[in-house]
Structure 1
Amino acid sequence: MEYEHVAALRKVHPAWKLLRADNAALILCFLGEVFADGNRGSVPAPELEAALDEFLYQINDPQNPDYPKSAKDYLADWADGSAGFLRRFYPLEDEVLHYEVTPAFEKAYSWVRSLGKREFVGTQSRLETVVEMLRSIVRGTETSPEKRLEDLKAQREAINAQIAAVEAGELEFMDETKIRELYQQIGITARELLSDFRQVEENFREQYRTNREHIVSSVGKSQKEVLDDLVRSRSEINQTDEGKSFGAFWKFSLSASSQEELRDLLAKVSALSAVDTDRRLLAIPNDWAEAADRTQRAVRKMSEQLRRFLDDWLRFKNRRVLDLANSITANALKMRDNPPEIGMYIDIPGIAISLPFERPLYQKPAQTSVDSQGITEGELPDDEALFNQMFVDQMRLLDNLRQVIPPRASAELEDILEVYPIEQGVEEVLGYMTLDDDALEIEIEAEETRIQVKTNEGDLKTLKMPKVKVTRK
């Protein structure tokens, strides 16, 4: 980290400001209990004020209170733009003020919570998790079919060995230390995922603000161009890594079978004697589903607000055009009885004049005589070339590429031809180079290469050609 960057964060980042605040303990304990531990999205202002007033009554000394302000004043201070711990807003079609915590508060609360001493610090499970993640990435990006088959066969042999051991009555159980370590890691990951939803929602909200600014600043653009930009922007959000990840999680939360499996697994693990059951972890599927639904509702409401804002903007633009048309009509009516004497002049470089007598007179077309006598039979042309045309099946070529290249990977054409040799000569090579498919990208490089090609006559010849790189999207 650079010194200037850390110094700037200390001054402007809301999470750092919270930790430096005099009433940081009050903010973290109260807001953490209501929002983070309670998994609440937005809370109406009257309800939050009543809860804070009760909390202050419990911790304050009546003779010498540490927090003398009212609950309403504290909430206003925490939601002030210079603080940034709370966000206050009026929900769509609701006249009651609401509060919700910001991602900066979630970061500060998670950090303070991590300062507490844990029963033990497990390292084995996290190391195994890192290794398994690296292994998954390598397996998913391997472009060699031989290495993939080798890896799959190794996995199959390991599974067969486990099956044989179970059939022989040799059961290997996980020790209690590793069970507690994994259970602890599950709890930490589950709580971090809950706090991450607020950051995802904040990122979507930032994109909403950017779209509104784009509409306001779109001077000189037509309505069609503005709409195209907004639709493209929404599509880009869905195609980002964050949008794809949230979409996959949303599908998981909508799957009844996946939810049922998750609850069943949590129940079985919590029933183990080696585990000190965390009751909140049993309800984590509901908390995840509620947090994801809250984020989805927020995105839907932002889309509705953006649509209304766009409708108002278009209505204003149309009204301005109508006002201009009415102004022109009013001026024309005023000048109808007293038109201007000068009239209107148009600068034209020249007028094209075509006189009738300049056209040529009609001429009778000349007749062509045809001698149909003495016609002799000629030789028929050689039509063998018509029947020797070669057809290259591009669908077969596309299937070959899909079999060799995994998604989001690339390979050289000469490597592909080693797996699927040329069967139709140079025409098949040209067929690979001219494939037109949205899921593929054919890149012809400046470097040259040589490949062996069998011609239609069966002769083996060397083809000198530029290197071709095929990328699958």
Structure 2
Amino acid sequence: MDLDELDRLWERHPAWRVLRAHNAPLILSFLGRRFIDDNRGAVPLGELVSALDDELFAVHRATPDRYPQDAAAYVDDWSDPKAGLLRRFYPAGSEEVHVEATPALEKAYRWVEGLRSRSFVGTESRLQTLVELLRQIVHGAQADPAERVAELERRRDAIERELADAREGRVAVLDDTALRERYQQFAGTARELLGDFREVEDNFRALDRSAREKIAGWDGGKGALLEELVSSRTDIASSDQGRSFQAFYDFLLSEGRQDELSDLLDAVIGMPQLGADRRVRRVHHDWADAAERTQQTVRGLSEQLRRFLDDQVWVENRRVLDLVRAVEASALAVRDRPPADIGVQVDEPGLPIALVFERPLYDPQPDVVVDSMPAPQAVDEVEFDSLFAQHVIDTARLIGNIRAIVPPRATVTLDDIVALYPVQEGAAEILGYLTLDDEELSIAVAENGPETTIDYVDAAGTPRRVRMPQVTVTRR
């Protein structure tokens, strides 16, 4: 970084400005504790002012003149757009101003947090992580099948040696130092991940703000604007950041992954030699909350597009009505005194003459009788057996089965659902699960993944088996 770039950051970046502020300790201690440590999203402005007022009361008991302004004045300064520490906005369906922390506040807080001296700095676990990342990079980019097979065989041999040692009672256990080192690295990475979510949310919000600015100042056709906005939304979703966020969100929504994380965190909390923070127990829920706030920002962009279409239709209809009223008003204005220069000029010098008797006389036509009733012998007998043999799959019942066993933001396989609610209508019911169309559910078929089998009994009482790709059902 050169001198000019550092000079611009020193003057303009909100994180650097807060470090130069005289009340920086109050900002970082109060806002950092409420928003970053507690991983809180938007809060009402009045609630934040009340909490800061309690904080200042406790400070003034020890040092009365340290922070002379009142709580409302401090919050107004911090939420000013020039300060860049808090973002003020009105949430949908609320008439009260809310505020939330910005990525600049997160960066400043994390930097100051890193200034504290640490009694224990682990290096071995980070070296292990770096080596493992290098292995994933090198072997993940390897396209040669022979090289990939050799690497997999090496891993298999290592696992077999470890299994043999475990069967003979030789188990290598990490000592307390190694455990604390790895826990320290996990806790730091978990906190950094929450900060990354705040920055990703801010990037999506910048896209939403750009879309609103384009909509407000657009004077062209709807098609061109929608094409540009949808293209921008697609670019974000297909970018490295968008794909990485979606992969993380899908990973976090997996029920199996959630159960595994919960079990691992419970085991870590139960280790007395670590002295783990109790907040680590719910860190995966904090990740889910942060990811959900990011998804709400993306949904806000889609809602803005829908409102734009509705508003544009209303404006066009209003324009047509204004034109009709203008024509009516002009006609009424000249009704009594029509303009002399309005008329029709005909180039033909005379008018054509048509005598009355040159027209043909009226010639009545005979009535035509149409008999559309078929003869009795022409009526065919209709077979209704095939009509009554039709089966209609009750999709509402299938959706009810899914909602009964799948909690929100969880994923299960179709064979798990069928195990609890056996198939009653044969193969048509299995196809009914695949064709469910509900905004709350998402059906995914693993085309190249593992296969699964589903057993059922048809209407004739014959056992049947269906072999198909694995199907996963996700409830949003």
Scaled by the length of structure 2, the TM-score of the pair is 0.67
In 1, the alpha carbon distance for the partners of 2:63 and 2:257 equals 56
- Give the SS at the match of 2:99: strand
Give the residue type in structure 2 aligned to 1:124.
E
Aligned: 1:14 with 2:14: yes
- Give the SS at the match of 1:297: helix
- Give the SS at the match of 1:60: helix
Q: Deviations over 1:286-345 (max 9, x none)?
A: 211222222222332343244324532453355335534654565577679547458799
Q: Deviations over 1:440-466 (max 9, x none)?
A: xxxxxxxxxxxxxxxxxxxxxxxxxxx
- Give the SS at the match of 1:115: coil
Give the residue type in structure 2 aligned to 1:44.
P
**Distance change in 2, residues 1:241/1:79 (3 Å):** same
Aligned: 1:186 with 2:186: yes
| Contact 1:218–1:226 under 8 Å retained in 2 | yes
Aligned: 1:133 with 2:133: yes
| Contact 1:36–1:106 under 8 Å retained in 2 | yes
| Contact 2:78–2:85 under 8 Å retained in 1 | yes
Other-structure match for 1:112 = 112
In 2, the alpha carbon distance for the partners of 1:149 and 1:203 equals 41
- Give the SS at the match of 2:237: helix
Aligned: 1:250 with 2:228: no
**Distance change in 2, residues 1:344/1:126 (3 Å):** farther
Counterpart mapping for 1:52-451 below 5 A: 52-61=52-61, 64-220=64-220, 222-320=221-319, 322-324=321-323, 326-327=325-326, 331=330, 337-338=338-339, 340=341
**Distance change in 2, residues 1:243/1:322 (3 Å):** farther
In 1, the alpha carbon distance for the partners of 2:96 and 2:218 equals 33
- Give the SS at the match of 1:171: coil
In 2, the alpha carbon distance for the partners of 1:185 and 1:62 equals 37
Q: Which runs of at least 4 in structure 1 moved beyond 4 Å after TM superposition?
A: 328-337, 341-345
Give the residue type in structure 1 aligned to 2:256.
S
| Contact 1:49–1:71 under 8 Å retained in 2 | yes
Other-structure match for 1:449 = none
- Give the SS at the match of 2:82: coil
**Distance change in 2, residues 1:229/1:302 (3 Å):** closer
In 1, the alpha carbon distance for the partners of 2:345 and 2:176 equals 97
In 2, the alpha carbon distance for the partners of 1:63 and 1:148 equals 67
Q: Deviations over 1:242-290 (max 9, x none)?
A: 2222222222332222111101011112323431222111121221122
Unaligned runs of 5+ in 2: 347-476
Give the residue type in structure 1 aligned to 2:257.
S
- Give the SS at the match of 2:100: strand
In 2, the alpha carbon distance for the partners of 1:78 and 1:313 equals 37
**Distance change in 2, residues 1:321/1:114 (3 Å):** farther
Instruction: Give the C-alpha shift of residue 104 in structure 1.
Output: 0.3
Q: Deviations over 1:29-83 (max 9, x none)?
A: 0111111112110111111111000000001148842111111111001111221
Q: Deviations over 1:114-170 (max 9, x none)?
A: 111122111111122112112112212112112111211211222222222222322
Instruction: Give the C-alpha shift of residue 219 in structure 1.
Output: 3.5
Higher relative contact order by CA 8 Å / sep ≥ 6: 1 or 2? Answer: 1
**Distance change in 2, residues 1:255/1:331 (3 Å):** same
In 2, the alpha carbon distance for the partners of 1:52 and 1:242 equals 36
In 1, the alpha carbon distance for the partners of 2:114 and 2:89 equals 30
Unaligned runs of 5+ in 1: 346-473
| Contact 2:212–2:304 under 8 Å retained in 1 | no
In 1, the alpha carbon distance for the partners of 2:82 and 2:225 equals 33
Give the residue type in structure 2 aligned to 1:106.
E
Larger mean Cα displacement after TM superposition, 303-312 or 335-344:
335-344
Give the residue type in structure 2 aligned to 1:287.
D
Instruction: Give the C-alpha shift of residue 5 in structure 1.
Output: 0.7
In 2, the alpha carbon distance for the partners of 1:319 and 1:226 equals 20
**Distance change in 2, residues 1:330/1:111 (3 Å):** same
Taking only aligned residues, the RMSD between alpha carbons, in angstroms, comes to: 2.4
In 2, the alpha carbon distance for the partners of 1:161 and 1:64 equals 68
In 2, the alpha carbon distance for the partners of 1:278 and 1:84 equals 31
**Distance change in 2, residues 1:155/1:218 (3 Å):** same
In 2, the alpha carbon distance for the partners of 1:293 and 1:185 equals 25
**Distance change in 2, residues 1:343/1:208 (3 Å):** farther
Scaled by the length of structure 1, the TM-score of the pair is 0.68
**Distance change in 2, residues 1:63/1:180 (3 Å):** closer
Instruction: Give the C-alpha shift of residue 100 in structure 1.
Output: 0.8
Give the residue type in structure 2 aligned to 1:172.
A
- Give the SS at the match of 2:203: helix
Aligned: 1:38 with 2:38: yes
In 1, the alpha carbon distance for the partners of 2:308 and 2:113 equals 41
